[in-house]
């Protein structure tokens, strides 16, 4: 008869395994909490309970995948974002806390009244679906060049905000001829020269076309700057995530292309340039 293993013992063994393979040991707790749908307090309450054999086997398989470098969110098939669980897979980026800050900036700075909103490069739909769920009067559309990503976004929209409209295509092509009060994006912005300092699991598992951009990572901001006058309504707003070293360059791109617009660079909670807002003026 197999010896029983407590949740505490399984957790500690997993943390040791992850540490030994140079992975973040906190993933061990993350996997356990997400799989059991527990809070940390609930986990502590079950520390001394024996873990059922099927659960233990599944947990050990998950830990082995993360030990090999696969992100825990892909192993689980979902990731938390702005208080909701979003389906994710290798076709989509894993939603991150910096993007939650971008969404929060949009929500706290924009009127709650009805407006037309476009999320370009929606991926899992994290931004578009969250905006629609939080502001039901808004009419939100999400676009992505990847049909596989849009399929994931559709699953998330069905769960959290069925009113979202989703379409496949590059940048503004799926909404040609339409105008929006608000455009938001978390575009690819990593320069290929930064590959050496990137996390190995990101490089290996996350979609390359959602990470890297030409012109030292600035290509999409240049394309946005050129297109915004024909896409935004008068006094419309554009929000985007940016790389932590790109604040000055992104500001120059938008100020040069749109000299009458107000351009604001905002830092994240870590004090790094991380977001840009462009406000058109009449």
CATH of the domain at 166: 3.40.50.150
Enter the tokens of residue 69: 């470098």
Q: How far apart are CA 160 and CA 69, in angstroms?
A: 30
Query: Are 125 and 206 contained in the same domain?
Result: yes
Residue 64 in domain: yes
Segments in the chain forming alpha helices (H): 7-20, 26-36, 40-45, 53-67, 72-76, 97-109, 126-134, 147-160, 200-205, 214-217, 219-231, 247-257
Residue 232 in domain: yes
Query: Are 60 and 172 contained in the same domain?
Result: no
Query: Are 121 and 231 contained in the same domain?
Result: yes
In this prediction the pTM is: 0.87
Exposed/middle/buried for 149, CB within 10 Å: 0-12, 13-18, 19+?
buried
Is residue 89 part of an annotated ligand binding site?
no
Q: How far apart are CA 119 and CA 274, in angstroms?
A: 17
**Nearest partner of 27 among 81, 65, 84, 82, judged by Cα:** 65
Query: Are 224 and 263 contained in the same domain?
Result: yes
- Domain that includes residue 14, residue range: 7-69
Is residue 209 part of an annotated ligand binding site?
no
Distances (CA, A) of 263 to 228, 240, 257, 271: 13, 11, 11, 18
Query: Are 22 and 137 contained in the same domain?
Result: no
Is residue 59 part of an annotated ligand binding site?
no
Query: Are 247 and 170 contained in the same domain?
Result: yes
Is residue 248 part of an annotated ligand binding site?
no
Is residue 74 part of an annotated ligand binding site?
no
Exposed/middle/buried for 220, CB within 10 Å: 0-12, 13-18, 19+?
buried
Q: How many domains does the chain have?
A: 2
Q: What pLDDT, on the 0 to 100 scale, is given for residue 188?
A: 65
Is residue 122 part of an annotated ligand binding site?
yes
Residue 43 in domain: yes
Is residue 121 part of an annotated ligand binding site?
yes
Residue 74 in domain: no
Each residue's pLDDT tens digit in the chain (282 positions)?
457 899 999 999 999 999 999 999 999 999 999 999 999 999 999 999 999 999 999 999 999 999 999 999 999 999 999 999 999 998 898 898 899 999 999 999 999 999 999 999 999 999 999 999 999 999 999 999 999 999 999 999 999 999 999 999 998 999 999 999 999 999 865 555 555 544 655 545 444 554 444 455 677 889 999 999 999 999 999 999 988 888 898 999 999 999 999 999 999 988 999 999 999 986
Q: What pLDDT, on the 0 to 100 scale, is given for residue 247?
A: 86
Query: Are 47 and 126 contained in the same domain?
Result: no
Is residue 142 part of an annotated ligand binding site?
no
């Amino acid at each position: 008869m197999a010896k029983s293993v407590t949740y505490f013992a399984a957790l500690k063994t997993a943390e040791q395994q992850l540490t030994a393979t140079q992975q973040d040991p906190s993933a061990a707790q993350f996997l356990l909490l997400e799989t059991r749908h527990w809070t940390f307090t609930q986990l502590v309450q079950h520390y001394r309970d024996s873990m059922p054999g099927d659960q233990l086997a599944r947990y050990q398989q998950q830990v082995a995948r993360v030990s090999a470098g696969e992100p825990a969110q892909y192993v689980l098939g979902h990731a938390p974002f702005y208080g909701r669980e979003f389906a994710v897979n290798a076709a989509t980026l894993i939603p991150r806390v910096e993007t939650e800050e971008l969404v929060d900036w949009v929500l706290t700075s924009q009127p709650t009244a009805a407006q037309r909103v476009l999320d370009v490069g929606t991926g899992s739909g994290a931004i578009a679906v969250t905006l629609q769920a939080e502001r039901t009067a808004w009419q939100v559309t999400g676009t992505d060049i990847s049909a596989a990503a849009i399929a994931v976004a559709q699953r998330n929209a069905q769960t959290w905000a069925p009113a979202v409209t989703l379409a496949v295509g590059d940048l503004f092509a799926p909404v040609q001829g339409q105008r929006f009060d608000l455009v938001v994006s978390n575009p690819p912005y990593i320069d290929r020269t930064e590959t050496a300092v990137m996390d190995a699991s990101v490089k290996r598992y996350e979609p390359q076309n959602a990470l890297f951009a030409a012109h030292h990572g600035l290509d999409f901001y240049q394309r946005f700057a050129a297109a915004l006058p024909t896409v935004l309504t008068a006094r419309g707003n554009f929000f985007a995530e940016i790389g932590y070293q790109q604040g000055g360059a992104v500001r120059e791109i938008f100020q040069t292309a749109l000299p009458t617009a107000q351009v604001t660079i905002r830092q994240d909670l870590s004090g790094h340039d991380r977001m840009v807002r462009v406000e058109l003026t009449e």
